[in-house]
Structure 1
């Protein structure tokens, strides 16, 4: 039984791709929103279009209702944040203990603007790939933060607005297992070949797990998850279908 409408925050990376597959298995109408915030790995904006095109031909999702996509211009984020994701500087850990890839308020801004798009499209659910298990310590990825944001959005819009985070307590290995359950080896292949995760925007180096520099935190995390998943026999996470 399909639920109502959902809007997926879709970057073109592994996590948001699995979230899109998850939403398409649950919601009657699913649309997507992306953000151009001056990210160093801007190649993801090109990759996301390739992934969306692939979804329309995948056997599992070819007949599902994948609706309108929009990319919002958030270049102002690059102006107000000096981070390794928006500047050509070395990735490191700051004195605060947070990685220099942390863009302050990014997810909060994404969700606020996404809720406005959802409101216009008649959707009451936002779906995002935020995760507490395999993450870089970003405070706006925590479920407690998102619970507060969910309440604020619902009050501010005078309409219930849910924030679904299917990957919140999943490791990267779990995410690969979810992908296989949701879309089979076809979806796993799309993730490897089409999605982008590398913070440096490298598409010149092909690894078993996909494209990237292989040394930035995002690449290391994806490689670790791939190895764990393949060494475990490439299991399927059937709970992703619940």
Structure 2
């Protein structure tokens, strides 16, 4: 790890509400920000431009890395990477049980994200990797659970030079136990630029308002007593 420097953190930045809130929290906690964004062939590519705008807002556009993981689109298996699988309309009655993993789950996504972010963190001398996973409003994704994060953190300690030298990096999940309303309230307190974010899985300039991600976002703003600043169809 480098010495005589401000503490540093890598932020996995999608351009969405949760990851942008992580940017605000990490900044408030005194970290120099090193955002990293992944282009994995997602149908909502508009979020990549949102991530660039968020990085610019925080004055770290020069450090912002956008990494191509296009093979995830080639693999498919998710409504977010395979155009033949429809993004569910959550305003219609859904048959999916609460224990069933939704079709918007992207196999291996967060495992890959955290592995690559760990590499960026070690090179830049960062002591933490922030990721906006949530164990409450997490849509049933297995790679958002605390058990998953803890196991990856254990692997990071074994697989990195800083880890074997006794100063392992941490995975910070500040939103893990918060409702969407709590996340939004904290973001508003920190002046997080929600107007620059998107949450819509359908990837339109105006959010659809009916996919699972839009519904969670709208519900969160309503419960927080705030107005969502982005446009909806």
Alpha-carbon distance between aligned partners in 1 of 2:61 and 2:209, rounded to the nearest angstrom: 32
Q: TM-score, normalised by structure 2?
A: 0.84
1:182 maps to what in 2? 190
Name the residue aligned to 1:216. 211
* Alpha carbons 2:77, 2:107 under 8 Å: kept: no
SS of residue paired to 2:64: strand
Q: Which moved more, 1:81-90 or 1:17-26?
A: 81-90
Structure 1, unaligned runs of 5 or more:
57-64, 205-211, 234-242
* 2:85 is aligned with 1:77: no
Tell me if the contact between 1:19 and 1:166 (Cα under 8 Å) persists in the aligned partners.
yes
Aligned residue pairs total 210
Q: Once the 2 structures are TM-superposed, how far is the Cα of residue 129 of structure 1 from its aligned partner?
A: 0.1
SS in structure 2 of the partner of residue 46 of structure 1: helix
> What is the aligned partner in structure 1 of residue 92 from structure 2?
none
d(CA) in 2 for partners of 1:153, 1:22:
23
Higher RCO (Cα < 8 Å, 6 or more apart): 2
RMSD: 2.1
SS in structure 2 opposite 1:222? Answer: helix
Q: Is 1:150 the equivalent of 2:153?
A: yes
Residue 122 (structure 1) aligned with residue 122 (structure 2): no
Provide the residue aligned with 1:196 in structure 2.
198
Q: Higher strand share goes to which structure? A: 1
Question: 5+ residue gaps in structure 2?
Answer: 89-94, 228-233
Which residue does the alignment assign to 1:166? 174
1:91 aligns with 2:87: yes
